[in-house]
Amino acid sequence: MARDDVGALVPALAPAPAPGQVYLAAWRRAYDRLVKMLRQAYRQAEELSVEREHLITEIEFLQSSRREREEIYQARIQKVGTIRVPVCGLFLFAIGFGEGRR
């Protein structure tokens, strides 16, 4: 620390760079911080990309599984399209069962 005209301590100023010289240390620190932030963001983007692909695969699997179950149920409904229901000794036929009639 240096002293001013009155004798008070003042912080020393950094020496002025020579003409054409740049404050390399400060720029280097800023550059290193930016590179670190960009690398971290890139890693996070890669992780999210991998997770996204995994979720897409899982959703496709679940959709195909649901479609297969739906086809099986539809086939069962078609198979049972005409059923006999005993009522007081008579047989009634339920035709069109499962065709969306309500």
What is the spatial distance between Cα 98 and Cα 70, in angstroms, rounded to a whole number? 13
- pLDDT band per the 50, 70, 90 thresholds, residue 49: very high
Report in angstroms the alpha-carbon separations of 29 from 15, 65, 66.
Answer: 18, 54, 55
| Residue ranges covered by each domain of the chain | 20-95
Percentage of the residues of the chain whose pLDDT score is greater than 70: 56
What is the spatial distance between Cα 75 and Cα 91, in angstroms, rounded to a whole number? 24
pLDDT at position 70: 93
pLDDT, tens digit, for every residue of 8-47? 666 665 566 666 666 678 888 899 999 999 999 999 999 9
For 98, counting Cβ atoms within 10 Å of its Cβ (0-12 exposed, 13-18 middle, 19+ buried), the class is: middle
Quote the pTM value.
0.47
> Which tokens in the block code for residue 69?
């179950």
- Over residues 62-87, the mean pLDDT reads 81
